[in-house]
Structure 1
Amino acid sequence: MTRPNVPSKANTVLLDPALKLGANLPLWRRAGGGAGLAAALARPDAIIETLKDADLRGMGGAGFPTWRKWSAAAASPCDEKYVVCNGNEDEPGTFKDRHLLRWTPHQVIEGALIAAVAVKANRVVFYVNPHQAEGIDQMRWAVDEWTASDLLASVSKVVGRPVTLTVAPSSGRYIGGEETAIVSWLDGGFPFPRRKPPFPFESGVGGLPTLINNTETLANVPHILKNGADWYRDLGVGAAAGTKLFSLSGDVLNPGLYELPMGTSLEELVFVHGGGMLDGRAFKAVFTGGPSNTLLTARDLDVALDFDSVKRRKSRLGTGAMIVISEGTSIVRKVAEYVAFFASGSCGQCPSCKCGTFQMARLLDRIATGRGVEADRQALDHLCRILPGSGRCALIDGAVTVVESSRHTFPDEYEPKARYAS
């Protein structure tokens, strides 16, 4: 993958060219790196309150307030705790975390160490998809630099115990990014998700309290501690706070990774920064936050791309992935591809998920290729009614969501014996 095009109008906080240093700690520090950690070490009790005032949300999909997770982990009286940076990133259309791990590993490490200071954790693990070989290499080199630096010694002093940094390749499976699956894998098992509670902050890796945050979430933390909560909030549009990395792909002229103010409109992302549609085609729909959410259409181009605004449109911002579809492209074909991905990514411990996604993918393929009959459509509807909530994680629910959304938004494409362009 080539380095993404970052538009000049973007607020380049995470993607600032001055920060694209790779594993070179002295250069990172000369560029201002370490200032956020210094502020955290000076006032460790103020870290979580600062994140609360900044309204930092989890950037891995859910948009959960970061300070709440940190507060829960900090409240545990255990002497041993983990902080885990989730860099598994294996969902179609999402490619933000690999960029941060490859080009700005030190801001990710600094953010994770600030988390360790805030919750008094002595073990920090960077959980990285093994398919991202450059990201793993850069993180390992960067960790070696931090391990030998005075900065880590300062963190250990405040935490009260020696703090260790480890890079751990993930299973490379899609389901391996779910937080309880992360715990299972780091404990030496297969990445099987489990039901919650207990949550990882209660009982995580090795039974110890474990704080798990997405790579992008942690990358924001040093800048907030360095510049303040008001500064971060002012980066957003309207009531939204901060910036967001948008993975833009599909039928646009300029696909790539864009850092823009949280609250930027979908229309601006697609038609200004993305350059508009390929071959002058009309905008048809977009899979938001990856392929497991409700589709947005042309009537939603005015939506502000922040967690709350997208939720009001009955969808989710998710990871910030935006897969754009043009008129003339079959929605059913795309949904069939994504549900097949979910079927192959299912861990298999819940028969309703493994078999249900497989059956949905088979039915969708028949309909998309013009071989479907009315019974296939009825069977698909039946599966959408009985499958939600039947798995130990949200994989089956996400698959059902995108099928139901496409059925509701583009019902004509599901008519039996219809043929569409793929």
Structure 2
Amino acid sequence: MHKSNQVLMKDDMMVGADLPAWLARGGGEGVSKALQEPAAVIPEIEQADLRGMGGAGFATHRKWAPVAGAADGDKYVICNGNEDEPGTFKDRFLLEHTPHQVIEGALIAAVATRANHVVVYVNPHQPRALAVTRDAVSQWRGHELYAAIENSLGGALSLSVVPSSGLYIGGEETAVIATVEGGFPFPRRKPPFPAEMGVHGAPTIVNNTETLAHVPGILRHGASWYRGLGLGNASGTKLYSLSGDVLRPGLYELPMGTTLEELVFEHGGGMLQGKAFKAVFTGGPSNTLLTKGDLDVPLDFDSVRQRRSRLGTGAMIVVSEGTGIVRKVAEYVNFFAQGSCGQCPPCKGGTFQLAQVLNRIDTGRGVRSDLEALENLCRLLPGSGRCGLIDGAVTVVESSLHHFIDEYEALLMA
């Protein structure tokens, strides 16, 4: 991983699944502090302004607080490591190289909310991440810190690894819950939200892998330290998955709020073969495109939202001049069409229709009515599914039509 600000992920970079090595570098201090004053953990997370790193940027303390306030009994903390969207590869790196940091973050969440079940949910298409995580979990189970957590909970703590379905839709939080229960990853309608009714009806927290990886550092060093790592009004650091037409693609840990221009041209080395920057798919391919005029945008949740896009997972797929936007959008919508679980007919049929029309236009077989069909589908489909898959597919199509309608027009048959 290329990193210019190694503050959160560095400590466990070389220790892998070696728990004693992790603890020797200061690991375990966060969960020890949590055990000393469990009630202080959630306020500390709130002061740090830690947000969900899996896409939505939802305030972490707002997920934890309802579970902490629920009556004692079965409660779950799930680390969501499904990660299957094109251009996103941060979570697998964390599970392969910093598993104890992630697990400690989940255990701190359990202490803060009095949860007696912790599940690390890993995509089986990432076999190394799955194997390393299993090894790391087995080491925690026999450690004195684990016994101290059980003592604080007044009973046994379950810490397990559950392979996901390996499907893209399996990363949606209610689909995660369905899989942990042993079922097919069909998303569920909300409300009720997982904090109210999750695994087997119990209060449940579902946090992204990267979100939990930030927690031990916040507990160890304090909320002010964490906030000070960000730029402007942003807090902490972010793992940016940089790919596409850049000289140095890779995973970069940088201050939250680093500009798009700095990420692409300083850390990423600029464009391939001296080509000009054209656009970037932000947060993976399910958000709006940013173009040349957005190179100055700080890459944090609020700033990117002001440009009518979303930071999402922090994935940045860069496109250069000479690369066809319609081709890229067709590829991504095909991915969404294949990833739809089929539970909601408008989503399954809608993504299929979007993909069919895009493929016709991309291959030079499209006509004016196809372009009109795309525009109509973008008006009709949003909100028609139980999860955000169809909305993500529509968003990227709609954005590409807005910014690059000339490319669509040029591909139409006369």
If the length of structure 2 is used for normalisation, what is the TM-score?
Answer: 0.98
Is 1:79 equivalent to 2:73 in the alignment? yes
Is 1:355 equivalent to 2:349 in the alignment? yes
Counterparts of 1:76 and 1:216, CA distance in 2: 25
Aligned match of 1:34 in 2, 10, 28?
28
Mapped contact 2:12–2:97 kept (Cα < 8 A): no
Counterparts of 1:311 and 1:395, CA distance in 2: 19
> Where does residue 377 of structure 1 map in the other structure?
371
**CA shift for structure 1 position 19:** 3.5
Secondary structure class of the residue paired with 1:56: coil
Is 1:16 equivalent to 2:48 in the alignment? no
CA RMSD of aligned residues (A): 1.0
Counterparts of 2:218 and 2:9, CA distance in 1: 15
Is 1:216 equivalent to 2:210 in the alignment? yes
Secondary structure class of the residue paired with 1:193: coil
Counterparts of 2:244 and 2:277, CA distance in 1: 11
> Where does residue 264 of structure 2 map in the other structure?
270
**CA shift for structure 1 position 20:** 3.1
Counterparts of 2:8 and 2:97, CA distance in 1: 10
Aligned runs of 1:340-419 on 2, under 5 Å? 340-415=334-409, 417-418=411-412
Counterparts of 2:315 and 2:411, CA distance in 1: 32
Q: 1:253 to 1:17 in 2, by over 3 A?
A: farther
Quick one: which amino acid aligns to residue 310 of structure 2? R
Counterparts of 2:222 and 2:14, CA distance in 1: 22
The farther-off stretch of 243-252 and 205-214 is 205-214
Counterparts of 1:91 and 1:221, CA distance in 2: 24
Is 1:111 equivalent to 2:105 in the alignment? yes
Secondary structure class of the residue paired with 1:165: strand
Counterparts of 1:18 and 1:144, CA distance in 2: 17
Is 1:289 equivalent to 2:292 in the alignment? no
**CA shift for structure 1 position 382:** 1.0
**CA shift for structure 1 position 14:** 3.3
If the length of structure 1 is used for normalisation, what is the TM-score?
Answer: 0.96
Aligned runs of 1:6-155 on 2, under 5 Å? 6-7=2-3, 10-16=4-10, 19-155=13-149
**CA shift for structure 1 position 12:** 1.0
Counterparts of 2:411 and 2:253, CA distance in 1: 43
Runs (4+) of structure 1 exceeding 6 A deviation are none
Counterparts of 1:80 and 1:161, CA distance in 2: 11
Counterparts of 1:360 and 1:239, CA distance in 2: 38
Encode CA deviations 1:45-78: one digit per residue, 9 max, x unaligned.
Answer: 1000000110000000000010111101111114
Stretches of structure 1 that go unaligned for 5 or more consecutive residues are none
Counterparts of 1:158 and 1:11, CA distance in 2: 35
> Where does residue 156 of structure 2 map in the other structure?
162
Counterparts of 2:356 and 2:299, CA distance in 1: 33
Mapped contact 2:11–2:25 kept (Cα < 8 A): no
**CA shift for structure 1 position 397:** 0.5
Counterparts of 1:166 and 1:13, CA distance in 2: 28
Mapped contact 1:388–1:400 kept (Cα < 8 A): yes
Secondary structure class of the residue paired with 2:162: strand
Secondary structure class of the residue paired with 1:323: strand
Counterparts of 1:95 and 1:63, CA distance in 2: 18
**CA shift for structure 1 position 187:** 1.3
Mapped contact 1:370–1:416 kept (Cα < 8 A): no
Counterparts of 2:285 and 2:14, CA distance in 1: 29
**CA shift for structure 1 position 416:** 5.7
> Where does residue 191 of structure 1 map in the other structure?
185
Q: 1:191 to 1:18 in 2, by over 3 A?
A: closer
Counterparts of 2:12 and 2:331, CA distance in 1: 39
Mapped contact 1:19–1:31 kept (Cα < 8 A): no
Counterparts of 2:382 and 2:12, CA distance in 1: 46
**CA shift for structure 1 position 17:** 5.9
Counterparts of 1:264 and 1:189, CA distance in 2: 41
Mapped contact 2:67–2:205 kept (Cα < 8 A): yes
Task: Give the share of equivalent positions with the same residue, in percent.
Answer: 67
> Where does residue 228 of structure 1 map in the other structure?
222
Counterparts of 1:32 and 1:301, CA distance in 2: 38
**CA shift for structure 1 position 279:** 0.3
Secondary structure class of the residue paired with 1:124: strand
> Where does residue 200 of structure 1 map in the other structure?
194
Counterparts of 1:337 and 1:343, CA distance in 2: 10
Mapped contact 2:12–2:101 kept (Cα < 8 A): no
> Where does residue 182 of structure 1 map in the other structure?
176
Stretches of structure 2 that go unaligned for 5 or more consecutive residues are none
Encode CA deviations 1:164-189: one digit per residue, 9 max, x unaligned.
Answer: 11000000000000010011111111
> Where does residue 252 of structure 2 map in the other structure?
258
